Amino acid sequence: MRVRRVILVAAILLGIAALYFLRVGRVAPGALPASRASVPPPASQNPKSKVENAPGDSEPNPLAAELNASNSTIRRDLEVLNDLFVNFQTNFHAGNPVGENAEITAAFTGANPLHFAFVSKNHPAINARGELCDRWGTPFQFHQLSGTQMEIRSAGPDKKFGTADDAEFAPWPKPAGRL
């Protein structure tokens, strides 16, 4: 009985210490040391051919890099977006980001409680209005089916929604009552 108490107290103290060190080790968003914040990218790099990291990111998200890749398909693009939603849910345990395309894109680019960028702000799939677009430049349509399921639509090559070339990703099974 006494051994169990000692183990329990030790586990609690370890947990408290871990939380303390996690909180103390955080750097406020945008508070990078001057030496990192002021280093420009090498002039030899073409900024349009590269997906740059958001401040504080060490590597671009490899999943987001697949979005609208020239050697891929719209089907894969829709799967990548769905995987981004799943990653978002996994990290925040609160369901999908909500709102219109620009609001969802903002959450993916770091406007979230952890300021974590799932997609770089300057990703080629993001237009000037801050919307994620399909490979033909049309903003995706996102339709929340539930807290954890998102229907994703592309207008396809004709850039018009509601035509035969539209592409859709809808997680299965769809919630009851959905036609």
Looking at residue 49, what is its pLDDT?
35
Q: Is residue 77 part of a domain?
A: yes
Residues with Cβ < 8 Å from 99, sequence gap 6 or more? 107
CA–CA distance, 132 with 104 (Å, rounded to integer): 9
Looking at residue 2, what is its pLDDT?
80
Q: Is residue 111 part of a domain?
A: yes
Best CA proximity match to 105, nearest among 74, 30, 88: 88
Q: Is residue 7 part of a domain?
A: no
Number of domains in the chain: 1
Q: Is residue 109 part of a domain?
A: yes
Residue 153 belongs to a domain with what CATH number? 3.30.700
Higher-confidence residue: 104 or 91? 104
Region 49-74: what's the mean pLDDT?
Answer: 68
Higher-confidence residue: 165 or 2? 165
Q: Is residue 103 part of a domain?
A: yes
* Across 3-17, 29-43, 151-165, least confident range: 29-43
Region 79-105: what's the mean pLDDT?
Answer: 91
Alpha-helix runs per DSSP H in 1-121: 2-24, 34-37, 62-65, 74-92, 101-108
Whether the predicted model's global pTM rises above the 0.75 cut? no
Q: Is residue 149 part of a domain?
A: yes
Residue 155 lies in domain: 60-179
Whether 69 has a pLDDT exceeding 80, the answer reads: yes
Q: Is residue 162 part of a domain?
A: yes
What does the angle CA 146 – CA 163 – CA 142 come to, to the nearest 5 degrees? 25
CA–CA distance, 45 with 92 (Å, rounded to integer): 35
Percent of the chain having pLDDT more than 90?
47
pLDDT in tens, 14-47: 667 655 555 544 444 443 333 333 333 333 333 4
Higher-confidence residue: 103 or 55? 103
HSE of 151 in the Cβ direction (CA atoms, 13 Å)? 15
Whether 51 has a pLDDT exceeding 60, the answer reads: no
* Across 9-13, 98-102, 129-133, 171-175, least confident range: 171-175
Q: Is residue 87 part of a domain?
A: yes
Looking at residue 55, what is its pLDDT?
45
137-140: which pairs have CB atoms within 8 A and are 24 or more residues apart?
139/101, 140/81, 140/101
